[in-house]
């Protein structure tokens, strides 16, 4: 088994604090910083003065909207904690952070509604093979017993939840905890170190039962311990601690500690568990497969500060890093460090160097992005992680209120996208809109607030235009003649075209059956150009698709005919002919795959028809106990705010993927509304 750290001093560690929304992560970080002396006192989140959640947006919405880094020291060891947002809308903030962390502290509470959110987090940690401790917060408010709570939470975890402490109660009120490994009681003192005490006689039997259960779980991975239990031999405490440490590092168990972060209770025991049991940077380096014999740096987050410029918060996985050092990217490009800083929320403390294990902010790495791997080796090293943002589920079209701010807005969005790689920006040529996409309404609201607040750019936003199309139901033949005489050479073009509908999805086809040279070959291409130009906006006001046009006849003038004249004739023929072809509006229909907790599946199935969707089926989500996948088709026009309703029905955890499936006819009131919104005056 492993070797207990004991008094041995190890290198700097990086610990992620992660958990469902409103579970108390920011409060726990504040309690840790106060207990370790990094800040003079623990401030409540409601005060608006916590180290984490320091941005105006986080404080306005009383929620974490970005990962926050804070370094401190405990018993001679440097620890950097990363407070990760709990809302699924900001969950991608944790992606580049977690991979480079040694350990995750998962903050949870006895709330059955938050189990799906906890499961999402645990699965992510499984995927990245991150060891974890579960801190059961708000234990003073829990109605159920702690072991009953663990039974409730266990389905969220793929590995056993191993209880290391049980609450100590007096008159039904939690007054402390009993450590099952140390067999010692701790009486809580608000914002102070707990008082060590003997285990009360009334609680001894309860402690022995819980301790034996802990040892049984540890014995699953230790044959010698199993023999001792079978022979009723009391195992040495050092051996128990070795097993606890080794099983945590191997990802065999998730130790569970209890406390109330709001009062600073249970924080010291958590810190000691981190110090003794958490893996160090060497284990993380091996897990990531980082090369040896060189300085390797993993970029965890990009921050643009008001006065210090760009900072790349990074973990030094190996080697030493000095200010002004030159590092190589994986593509061979080089960059130069300009400043090394220790982080404490929004504050930075400059230092001259960083050693393996430290998490620091590096200044002015202008060509470096979040998630990249930097190396001292010439030519760089392969990327250690791959950032793959999930498909966006919410979007809005935006523009500055003042046209003079367009360039400024573009630069500001580029900086925001550097800070948050899950943002997606594209220009829709059909609608001439700049469309920003993200992972929920609140996600994009925060982006807009940062554009208007931090960057001082007033913004106008609205739902993106739906890419409607139009087609025809029947064919027609039409002549178009363009003739103009205004002194000198005139203009003359004359065409006869046949317009026919095509099967859905075919697009546009052009042909000609000209005989006898009535339209010279040099002008046939001009006719096609004019037709294609017309098809950009049909009689209903939208691009035309699934139409075939044949040039069958026409005439020309040896002097007055020209390329432009035949383009104009073709457009006139199309304009008059299309009106006789029974034009009809088409809307895009998407295939949607919704993932949802099983207990909300019926709600999801009920809302799909309300959005003109058709259910294709639903089934259990593979390898996800307690989750379903619902498949449906739904008009794109109905998907814009779908995520808001999905999240409302599932305590904030459902999501979806959508892909174009087909175009379908749209008639009646909805078609009229679409055309009116597009500025079309047709009946």
Percent of the chain with pLDDT over 90: 91
- Is the per-residue pLDDT at 249 higher than 50? yes
Mean pLDDT of the chain: 94
Contact 21, 109 (CB under 8 A): no
- Is the per-residue pLDDT at 3 higher than 60? no
> What is the C-alpha to C-alpha distance for residues 195 and 150, in angstroms, rounded to an integer?
26
CB atoms within 10 A of CB 331: 10
Q: What share of the chain is helix, strand, coil (3-state, %, to 5)?
A: 30, 30, 35
> Token match 């139009």: residue?
470
Q: pLDDT category, 677, cuts 50, 70, 90?
A: confident
Which pLDDT value is given to residue 9? Answer: 52
Which pLDDT value is given to residue 432? Answer: 87
| DSSP symbol at 342 | E
CB atoms within 10 A of CB 486: 7
Contact 594, 604 (CB under 8 A): yes
Q: How far, in whole angstroms, is CA 297 from its chain's centroid?
A: 23
Q: pLDDT category, 487, cuts 50, 70, 90?
A: low
Average pLDDT of 529-546?
A: 96
> What is the C-alpha to C-alpha distance for residues 135 and 150, in angstroms, rounded to an integer?
11
- For 393-447, what is each residue's pLDDT tens digit? 999 999 999 999 999 999 999 999 999 999 999 998 888 899 999 999 999 999 9
Exposed / middle / buried, residue 579 (Cβ in 10 Å: 0-12, 13-18, 19+) = middle
> What is the C-alpha to C-alpha distance for residues 489 and 407, in angstroms, rounded to an integer?
45
Contact 270, 105 (CB under 8 A): yes
Percent of the chain with pLDDT over 70: 97
- For 32-65, what is each residue's pLDDT tens digit? 999 999 999 999 999 999 999 999 999 999 999 9
> What is the C-alpha to C-alpha distance for residues 137 and 24, in angstroms, rounded to an integer?
7
Q: Would you call 648 helix, strand, or coil by DSSP?
A: helix
Higher per-residue pLDDT: 15 or 488: 15
Q: Which pTM does this prediction carry? A: 0.92
- Is the per-residue pLDDT at 8 higher than 90? no
User: Dihedral through CA 204, CA 209, CA 211, CA 212, nearest 10?
Assistant: 140
| DSSP symbol at 622 | T
- Is the per-residue pLDDT at 7 higher than 60? no
> What is the C-alpha to C-alpha distance for residues 415 and 69, in angstroms, rounded to an integer?
19
* Six-digit token string for 157: 């975890």
- Is the per-residue pLDDT at 683 higher than 90? no
Buried b (16+ CB within 10 A) or exposed e, 377-396: eeebbeebbeeeeeebbbbb
Q: Would you call 167 helix, strand, or coil by DSSP?
A: strand
Q: Would you call 301 helix, strand, or coil by DSSP?
A: strand
Q: Would you call 180 helix, strand, or coil by DSSP?
A: coil
Helix ranges (H only) for 535-658 are 563-578, 601-610, 642-649
Which pLDDT value is given to residue 488? Answer: 65
Exposed / middle / buried, residue 29 (Cβ in 10 Å: 0-12, 13-18, 19+) = buried
Cα 628 to Cα 88, 127, 144, 361, distances in angstroms = 18, 20, 28, 41
Bridge partners for 321 per DSSP: 354
Contact 107, 32 (CB under 8 A): no
Contacts of 164 (CB under 8 A, 6+ apart): 179, 180, 181, 214, 244, 255, 256, 257, 273
> Token match 């004249």: residue?
565
- Is the per-residue pLDDT at 215 higher than 50? yes
Bridge partners for 359 per DSSP: 315
- Is the per-residue pLDDT at 479 higher than 70? yes
Q: Would you call 484 helix, strand, or coil by DSSP?
A: strand
Strands (E), 148-202: 161-163, 165-170, 173-179, 184-189, 192-197
Q: Would you call 142 helix, strand, or coil by DSSP?
A: coil
* Six-digit token string for 159: 């590995």
Domains observed in the chain: 13-279 (3.40.50.300), 285-375 (2.40.30.10), 394-462 (3.30.70.870), 470-581 (3.30.230.10), 586-677 (3.30.70.240)
User: Dihedral through CA 505, CA 511, CA 513, CA 514, nearest 10?
Assistant: 150
> What is the C-alpha to C-alpha distance for residues 613 and 605, in angstroms, rounded to an integer?
10
Q: pLDDT category, 307, cuts 50, 70, 90?
A: confident
- For 116-170, what is each residue's pLDDT tens digit? 999 999 999 999 999 999 999 999 988 888 999 999 999 999 999 999 999 999 9
- For 336-371, what is each residue's pLDDT tens digit? 999 999 999 999 999 999 999 999 999 999 999 999
> What is the C-alpha to C-alpha distance for residues 609 and 319, in angstroms, rounded to an integer?
58
| DSSP symbol at 112 | G
Q: How far, in whole angstroms, is CA 211 from its chain's centroid?
A: 40
* Six-digit token string for 58: 């986080």
> What is the C-alpha to C-alpha distance for residues 414 and 536, in angstroms, rounded to an integer?
31
Which pLDDT value is given to residue 142? Answer: 84
Q: pLDDT category, 559, cuts 50, 70, 90?
A: confident
- For 200-209, what is each residue's pLDDT tens digit? 999 999 999 9
Which pLDDT value is given to residue 4? Answer: 39
Exposed / middle / buried, residue 154 (Cβ in 10 Å: 0-12, 13-18, 19+) = middle
Contact 675, 541 (CB under 8 A): yes
Q: How far, in whole angstroms, is CA 662 from its chain's centroid?
A: 28
């Amino acid at each position: 088994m492993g070797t207990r750290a004991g008094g041995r001093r190890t290198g700097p560690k990086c610990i992620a604090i992660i958990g469902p929304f409103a579970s108390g992560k920011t409060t726990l970080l504040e309690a840790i910083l106060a207990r370790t002396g990094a800040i003079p006192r623990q401030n409540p989140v409601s005060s608006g003065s916590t180290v984490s959640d320091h941005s105006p947006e986080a404080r306005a919405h009383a929620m974490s909207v970005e990962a926050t880094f804070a370094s401190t020291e405990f018993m001679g060891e440097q620890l950097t904690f990363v407070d990760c947002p709990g809302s699924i809308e900001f969950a991608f903030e944790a992606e580049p952070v977690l991979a480079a962390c040694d350990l995750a502290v998962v903050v949870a509470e006895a709330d059955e509604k938050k189990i799906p959110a906890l499961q999402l987090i645990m699965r992510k940690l499984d995927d990245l093979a991150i060891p974890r401790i579960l801190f059961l917060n708000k234990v003073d408010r829990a109605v159920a017993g702690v072991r009953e709570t663990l039974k409730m939470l266990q389905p969220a975890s793929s590995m056993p939840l191993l209880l290391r402490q049980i609450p100590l109660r007096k008159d039904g009120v939690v007054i402390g905890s009993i450590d099952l490994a140390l067999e010692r009681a701790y009486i809580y003192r608000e914002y102070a170190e707990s008082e060590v005490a003997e285990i009360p006689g009334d609680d001894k039997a309860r402690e022995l039962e819980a301790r034996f259960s802990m040892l049984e779980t540890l014995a699953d991975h230790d044959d010698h311990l199993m023999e001792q239990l079978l022979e009723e031999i009391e195992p040495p405490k050092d051996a128990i601690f070795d097993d606890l440490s080794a099983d945590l590092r191997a990802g065999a168990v998730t130790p569970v500690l209890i406390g109330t972060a709001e009062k600073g209770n249970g924080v010291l025991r958590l810190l000691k568990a981190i110090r003794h049991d958490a893996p160090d940077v060497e284990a993380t380096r091996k897990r990531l497969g980082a090369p040896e014999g060189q300085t390797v740096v993993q970029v965890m987050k990009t921050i643009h500060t008001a006065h210090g410029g760009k900072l790349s918060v990074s973990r030094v996985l190996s080697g030493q890093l000095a200010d002004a050092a030159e590092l190589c990217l994986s593509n061979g490009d080089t960059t130069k460090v300009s400043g090394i800083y220790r982080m404490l929320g929004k504050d930075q403390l400059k230092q001259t160097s960083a050693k393996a294990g430290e998490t620091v902010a590096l200044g002015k790495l202008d060509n470096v992005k979040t998630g990249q791997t930097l190396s001292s080796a010439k030519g760089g090293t392969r990327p250690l992680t791959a950032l793959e943002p999930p498909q966006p589920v919410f979007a809005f079209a935006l523009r500055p209120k003042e046209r003079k701010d367009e360039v400024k807005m573009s630069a500001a969005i580029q900086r925001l996208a550097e800070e948050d790689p899950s943002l997606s920006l594209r220009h829709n040529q059909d609608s001439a809109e700049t469309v920003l996409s993200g992972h929920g309404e609140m996600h994009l609201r925060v982006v807009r607030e940062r554009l208007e607040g931090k960057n001082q750019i007033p913004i106008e936003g609205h739902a993106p235009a739906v890419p409607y199309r139009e087609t025809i139901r029947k064919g027609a033949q039409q002549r178009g003649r363009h003739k103009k005489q205004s002194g000198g050479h005139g203009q003359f073009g004359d065409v006869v075209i046949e317009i026919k509908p095509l099967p859905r999805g075919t697009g546009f086809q052009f042909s000609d059956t000209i005989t006898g040279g009535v339209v010279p070959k040099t002008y046939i291409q001009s006719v096609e150009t004019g037709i294609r130009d017309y098809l950009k906006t049909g009689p209903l006001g939208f691009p035309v698709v699934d139409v075939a046009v044949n040039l069958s006849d026409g005439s020309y003038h040896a002097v007055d005919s020209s390329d432009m004249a035949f383009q104009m004739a073709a457009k006139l023929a199309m304009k008059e002919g299309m009106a006789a072809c029974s034009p009809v509006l088409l809307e895009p229909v998407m295939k949607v795959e919704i993932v949802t907790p099983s207990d909300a599946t019926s709600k999801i199935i009920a809302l799909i028809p309300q959005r003109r969707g058709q259910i294709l089926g639903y089934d259990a989500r593979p390898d996800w106990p307690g989750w379903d996948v619902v498949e449906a088709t739904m008009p794109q026009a109905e998907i814009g705010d779908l995520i808001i309703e999905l999240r409302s029905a599932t305590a904030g955890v459902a999501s979806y993927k959508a892909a174009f499936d087909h175009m379908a006819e749209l008639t009646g009131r909805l078609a009229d509304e679409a055309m009116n919104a597009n500025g079309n005056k047709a009946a």
